[in-house]
A and B are shown apart, each in its own frame.
Chain A
Amino acid sequence: MSNVNWHSWAVAFAVSSAWIVIVAGLLQIAFNLLQLAFAAVSLAKRPPVVRSALLWRRYANQAPPIAVLAPAFNEAITIVESVKSLLALHYPDFEVIVINDGSNDATLEKLIDEFGLAIVDRYHDLTVPHAPIRGLYANPRIPRLLVIDKENGGKSDALNAGINVARAPLFCSIDADSLLENDALLRTVRPFVDTPDKTVAVGGTIRLANGSRIANGRVESVRLPRNFLALVQIVEYLRAFLMARLALSRMQALTVISGAFGLFRRRLALEVGGYSHNTVGEDMELVIKLHRHMRDLNRPYRIEFIPDPVCWTEAPEDLATLGRQRARWQRGTLETFAKHKDMLFNRRYGRIGFIGFGQVLAVDVLGPIIEVAGYALVPLLWLTGLLSFDYLIAFLAITFTFGVFISVATLILEEVELRRFPLARDLAILTLVAVLENFGYRQLSNFWRVRGLLQFLRKQKGWGEMKRRGFQIA
């Protein structure tokens, strides 16, 4: 009798587990399909991609000033080239503010020597808190450059110092090691010019420069890397930016603008208290705070994402670094979600509460846990005879074959609408990678995300070590 009870209990558990995994997976897939549709519409309706010269002629007279904020910590080797590249941006009125965040190396000295900087006074705002500023440096002959030397406080702290010191109505936050397209600011400022009364922030597409030819701080020709992890990340970035963010932007429910490149209204960033210090997801948190602020004020607003590639970055090429990065991203997402959990399914926050936070809950909070549980349980239960073959193949459909479809469909979107990869061979390689990533990499990625969840539960702080190879200069 007890054996019968145990068996029926075990079968009920097995079936319930399988259904939870399958329903959660189906929800994610349904949302991905919806995103694909929205992304396709968004790409089809995007304005013409015109040459820089025409953009300049059309927008230069009306383009508002921008402060480009580049936080730098121990970047002595690359900082001079990075700043030269930033100073060469094509935009009518901009200022580059480099924030030396208490570097232990010669970052500041390199800047002072190369650009002939001297200490200056500048009356600046003190609205958002940050570690003390030790000095401001400039050279009257290079009026576009200002360097802030401050005590170490982390990236968000450095950005807050930049926001306080900036005087432009818009600021662009970037990573000091990001490579920007020459016309990145002109392209990204378009929503601010076209709908100035509503636009509060704009994100642009980040692409991976691994394998590409780089010269003079610019990506000269796009090439694929040889490293498999970097290749997989190219497909991941396409999915994240071309599908997810573009679609969420179309739905007006974008929850993240990448810390590597984002354009914001300075005044509103000040009103929400700037970047938060107690999270590694400060980029996401700022966007959520802006949503909350605008909704609370009941003011119409837009947070946009543009599909134009504006910024290039370097992806980790070893498992350890990539794992740390993904765990940190997951932790940042969870920290933001927990901090603003009252927005979830809250009518007061409209689409952002239902679609934006609903997506974070399904894809980022519950998704990895359920999927990893599924990897452990469903095959095990099937092997022990507690689960039917139907459940097993439904699980395989959700975790593998639908995954292949979503990735390849994103590649189709990219090829039909954007055609950024120069060679047919590149497309073939990426298609193969889009299939292969579902067998091994996807599982590993979910494992890293669960590790991020554990770090979040342990209240772990800090960024962890990031090993960079550096861009391959031609």
Chain B
Amino acid sequence: MTLVDLWTISLLLSLTALLIMGGLIIVRHVSGRTQRQVQAKRSQFLPLLLGQASDEELVELRHSSSTILVPLVSELIELVRGDEREQFVATAARAGVTETLRHQLTSGSARSRITAAEVLKSFPDDHCTAALEDALDDADAGVRFAAALALASSDRAPPARILVERLGLGINENSMLIVTLLSEIARSRPHEIRQLVEDTGVPPAVRAAAIEALSGSGDYSLVKVIADLAQAADDAAPELPRYLRALGAFKHPAALPAIRSRLASPTWWVRAAAAESAGLISLADTIPTLCELLDDDDWWVRFRAGEALVRFGPTGRSLLMQVGENGSERARHAARSTLAEQAMAA
């Protein structure tokens, strides 16, 4: 290639880019006009979707299925509530929206497949369920997860254990939305999520997510299971603070051995989580350790220890005052600041 070729290539590239941009500007200009027609059609279709559409009107809706109707349904389906929602979903299905969405779920970009999965959750028929189940094996992780969430939110998810394996939860997929997914399943099948907690073959991150999904369930028999997990976990395990916080959420004194041992953990975030839970459960046996933690090397541990002591009421405040007088400089600062802040909050 010569230097002159460089000039020729640069000119060709620039002119091509300018031509493409010119084309896009023309397309935009024209679409600006058609946009008004689309808006008019959308306004015309909306009452049909919310009311009873005649067969003729359904034919018209079907003809515009992919260009106008599907985007309109995708936008509005989450906003319509009550009786109108059933009507909306039924009319959209009769107008062929589900066929288009099922097709969209197997072709096109990952972005459009995700959108299709999210909309299909509102259509409970078997075809849609089958399409969403197939999407659990999609090549794109985002599509797989969207399909799982869609199935779970409409009580159609496969057994939780199978879902964990198919999606690679806790191995390839570590989204915090795993908690949301398991919480959705737990609404109707809490036993499956409990089995995940107890199953040693399940990745620790998923067991922690399952625990969080059940933490509002009031099933106190879980406390022992979680406490055992917290006792057995490695000190630097990322799920350990999640176990400890879950114990705090249950507010059950049976968590004491696990929390007491973790207050002495060499890992700061474990000590902080243990201190937080000790305060939430009001574990009086931990008070001396919490006072010592006011002099911890890590600010978060000192903060959580102070916060926990305040939760013990007058006893905790009195101890904070004592440390504020007699503790090390760091502990005095932590104790006094905590008391001052709590006094203002009160």
Contacts and interface: CB of A to CB of B under 8 A. Distances in A.
Interface of A: 22, 26, 44-48, 50-51, 53-54, 57-59, 61-62, 120-127, 140, 167, 193-197, 390-391, 393-394, 396-398, 401-402, 404-405, 408-409, 411-412, 415-416, 419, 423-424, 427-428, 431, 435
Contact of A62 (B2, B115, B118, B176): B176
B3 A393 contact: yes
Interface in B23-37: 24-26, 28-29, 32
Contacts of B118: 48, 50, 54
Interface string B71-89: 0000100110000000000
B174 interface: yes
Given A47-B111, A401-B11, A61 B180 contact: yes
B299 interface: yes
Given A140-B344, A140-B345, 14 more contacts: A44-B111, A45-B109, A47-B114, A47-B142, A58-B177, A61-B180, A120-B344, A122-B337, A123-B302, A123-B306, A196-B175, A396-B7, A412-B20, A431-B21
A415 B28 contact: yes
A397 B7 contact: yes
B10 A121 contact: no
Given A45-B110, A46-B111, A412 B32 contact: no
Given A393-B7, A397-B6, A402-B14, A51 B115 contact: no
Given A196-B175, A390-B2, A393-B3, A402 B110 contact: no
30 contacts: A22-B3, A47-B111, A47-B114, A50-B115, A58-B177, A62-B176, A62-B177, A123-B306, A123-B333, A123-B334, A124-B337, A125-B299, A125-B300, A194-B177, A195-B175, A197-B238, A393-B7, A394-B4, A396-B7, A397-B6, A397-B7, A404-B17, A405-B14, A408-B18, A409-B17, A412-B24, A419-B28, A424-B32, A427-B28, A431-B18
Interface in B89-143: 109-112, 114-115, 118, 142
B179 A62 contact: yes
Is chain B's binding surface mostly helix, strand, loop or mixed? helix
Nearest to A118: B344
A411 B21 contact: yes
A415 B21 CA distance: 9
Contacts of B340: 121, 123
Interface string B319-339: 000000000000001100110
B303 A398 contact: no
Contacts of B111: 44-48
B231 to A, nearest CB: 23
A196 B178 CA distance: 11
A394 B3 contact: yes
A127 B299 contact: yes
A295 to B, nearest CB: 19
B270 to A, nearest CB: 14
Contacts of A120: 341, 344
B341 A123 contact: yes
Contacts of A61: 179-180, 183
B42 to A, nearest CB: 16
Contacts of A121: 337, 340-341, 343-344
B183 to A, nearest CB: 8
A397 B3 CA distance: 9
Contacts of A423: 28, 32
A405 B174 contact: no
Nearest to A415: B24
B299 A401 contact: no
A398 B6 contact: yes
A207 to B, nearest CB: 19
Given A48-B114, A401-B11, A126 B299 contact: yes
Nearest to B30: A424
Contacts of B142: 47
B14 A401 contact: yes
Interface of B: 2-4, 6-7, 9-11, 13-14, 17-18, 20-22, 24-26, 28-29, 32, 75, 78-79, 109-112, 114-115, 118, 142, 149, 174-177, 179-180, 183, 238, 299-300, 302-303, 306, 333-334, 337-338, 340-341, 343-345
B180 to A, nearest CB: 6
A377 to B, nearest CB: 16
A393 B341 contact: no
A281 B107 CA distance: 45
Contacts of B2: 390
Contact of A424 (B18, B29, B177, B337): B29
A412 B6 contact: no
B115 A123 contact: no
B246 to A, nearest CB: 15
Nearest to A19: B3
A416 B24 contact: yes
Contacts of B303: 123, 167
B29 A412 contact: no
Nearest to B31: A424
A53 B75 CA distance: 11
B338 A401 contact: no
Contacts of A411: 21
Given A53-B78, A412-B17, A401 B7 contact: yes
A408 B22 CA distance: 10
A121 B4 CA distance: 71
B25 A427 contact: yes
A122 B25 contact: no
B263 to A, nearest CB: 19
A123 B337 contact: yes
B75 A51 contact: yes
B7 A394 contact: yes
A22 B2 CA distance: 12
B229 to A, nearest CB: 19
B7 A431 contact: no
B207 to A, nearest CB: 15
Contacts of A409: 17
B18 to A, nearest CB: 6
The 4 closest A-B pairs by CB, nearest first: A123-B337, A121-B340, A401-B10, A397-B10
Nearest to A197: B174
A218 to B, nearest CB: 21
- Tell which of B17, B333, B341 has the most Cβ of chain A within 10 Å: B17
B341 A122 contact: yes
Contact of B24 (A22, A140, A196, A427): A427
A127 B303 CA distance: 14
A179 to B, nearest CB: 26
B329 to A, nearest CB: 12
Contacts of A197: 174, 238
A44 B112 CA distance: 10
A124 B29 CA distance: 56
Of A125, A194, A397, which is in contact with the most chain B CB atoms at under 10 Å from its CB? A397
A427 B18 CA distance: 12
A406 to B, nearest CB: 9
A431 B25 contact: yes
B21 A427 contact: yes
A195 B174 contact: yes
Contacts of B179: 61-62
Contacts of A393: 3-4, 6-7
